[in-house]
Amino acid sequence: MRGKNFKVRILIAVAVIGFAFFRKCSQEEINPYTKRTQAISLSPKEEISLGLQSAPGMAQQHGGLYPNENFQALVDQVGNKLINNSIVKETPYRYEFHLLADPNTINAFALPGGQIFITYALFSQLKNQDQLAGVLGHEIGHVIGKHSNERITNANFWKTIAMGSSAIDMGQVAQQYGQGELLKNGRGDELESDDLGVLFMIKAGYNPEEMIGVMEILKAAAGPNRQPEFQSTHPDPDNRIEQIRASIKKYRNRAEIQ
């Protein structure tokens, strides 16, 4: 009887896991802007809707908007210049830039569909418009890279895998493996966004070398006790600087050839 029950559990696990892989394969498509194959479950319209719904709460978490129209106008100016001089203007997303009042959290982030945020804590440490362009270009890269969309889809995939594996008492192992894969993918997203940010900066006439200065600011903010790279969704700043230099060389060489 016990053996029969175990066979039933195996069949259930195989069915659920098979469904998860089938669904993920059916969701795969080529990103028209990065040419990378991704598993995507949200349409551009759904991404925009999700971003707009989440934006007010996100702003509230960081003390609302920073009350300086000139600073906000500068953020809008630099962000729109990046958009209007690159492939970004061809995307269906609604880009809006928000300067948050948070004076302590050095951060910038993007929601699906084009809602982009930078905290005053980070804004106030930037030395010039080129560095601001580096921050915003990176966040725009997350949007056209469909990184949130892909992360939502992959998280649901691993949740289903863990559910199926639990039938044979392997759910925790599957969950831990899935978390590792999501962390690894997250680091890849950051490097892809850095690469796209460099491209957008060059296209808009900004100095991409200044993105390295942004990495130094982030490195200093993290301090000597920053989380090891293998435990973080973000690559180590030193690794990002190395990749940024490679991207600058790649796009400048491409421009010279053309």
Predicted confidence pLDDT, tens digits, the chain (258 residues): 555 676 766 676 677 667 666 777 877 899 988 889 998 888 999 999 999 999 999 999 999 999 999 999 999 999 999 999 999 999 999 999 999 999 999 999 999 999 999 999 999 999 999 999 999 999 999 999 999 888 888 787 767 767 666 655 555 644 554 455 445 556 788 999 999 999 999 999 999 999 999 999 988 887 665 544 334 456 677 889 999 999 999 998 876 544
CB 87, CB 35: distance < 8 Å: no
Dig out the tokens for 98 from the structure: 């928000």
Sign of the dihedral through C-alpha 248, 251, 254, 258: negative
Q: Which residues pair with 38 in a beta bridge?
A: 29
Closest CA to 195 of 243, 234, 132: 243
For residues 229 and 239, the answer to whether their CB atoms sit within 8 Å is: yes
- Kindly provide the b/e burial profile for residues 194-217, where b requires at least 16 CB atoms within 10 angstroms of the residue's own CB: bbbbbbbbbbbebbbebbbbbbeb
pTM: 0.82
Left (φ > 0), alpha (ψ -120 to 50) or beta: where does 248 sit? Answer: alpha
C-alpha gyration radius of the chain: 21
Query: Token pair of 204, please?
Result: 């808009």
Residue owning tokens 């493996």? 177
Please report, for residues 154, 227, 235, 244, the alpha-carbon distance to residue 192 in angstroms, rounded to integers and kept in the order given. 17, 21, 11, 10
